[in-house]
Amino acid sequence: MTLGITSRYMLDNINVLVLDDNKHMRSLVQSILHALGVKNIRDASDAAEAFKELQHFHADVIICDWHMEPLDGLDFVRLVRTAKDSPNPYVPIIMLTGYTEYRRVVEARDAGVNEFLAKPISAKALYQRFAAIIDTPRPFIRTKTYFGPDRRRQNLGPPRGTAERRKSELEKAGDSGVVAPPGTDAADGLSQQEVEALLGK
């Protein structure tokens, strides 16, 4: 008789820090995390508070909003990755944001985020980001201008919404001529697959 062994995630023994300046968003993320089994959650409403929290809370994962003041999410990511007094420059960071444009994803990747999750979020999408971080840890790269997870690039072609992209899509569509019309989600934002590819997965 063969015993089937299925691997599974156990989120009950990890520490998660949630950084968002919107209290309702923090509550939403924490509710989802609790329901997914995460027991140790701390939250912060600004980047300075979050960085201070990291000095005594050993976060295994950070979930971080982008649009905040006075320091934004990218400032915070750079602080965690490169500040001399950063307690854990390697901690996986999930950037949670309403921004989904190509340039934004590239900017987040270049600041050193591991995962990019577009708001509005769902429980499944957040769970999948945790699974990705757990299943596929990436080496870190240090260059003169970058420190963070490996950003292996995949050739995605020209950014969506550009004339070059339309031309490329028309060429690929061939006889069918089926391409995303301008103004649709597909033409204006990135698909999750493209976001993942940009992040080097």
Site of interaction with other proteins (CB under 8 A): 5-11, 13-14, 22, 24-25, 27-28, 31-32, 34-37, 60-61, 67, 90, 92, 97-98, 119-124, 126-128, 130-131, 133-135, 137, 139-144, 150, 183
State which residue, 122 or 167, has the beta carbon closest to other proteins.
122
The minimum distance between CB 165 and other proteins, in angstroms, equals 19
Tokens of 16: 């998660």
Name the nearest CA neighbour of 113 among 19, 9, 13: 19
Nearer to other proteins, 106 or 168 (CB): 106
* Cβ at position 176, least distance to other proteins in Å: 26
Region label for 158, one of left (φ > 0), alpha (ψ between -120 and 50) or beta (otherwise): beta
Q: Is 40 helix (H, G, I), strand (E, B) or coil?
A: strand
**How far is C-alpha 175 from the geometric centre of its chain's CA atoms?**
37
Tokens of residue 155, six digits? 């050739």
Are 166 and 188 a contacting pair, CB within 8 Å? no
Q: How far is the CB of 174 from other proteins (least distance, A)?
A: 30
Measured from the CB atom, the residue of 170 and 192 that comes closer to other proteins is 192
Q: Kindly state the smallest distance separating residue 159's Cβ from other proteins, in Å.
A: 17
Nearer to other proteins, 6 or 155 (CB): 6
CA distance 89 to 74: 14
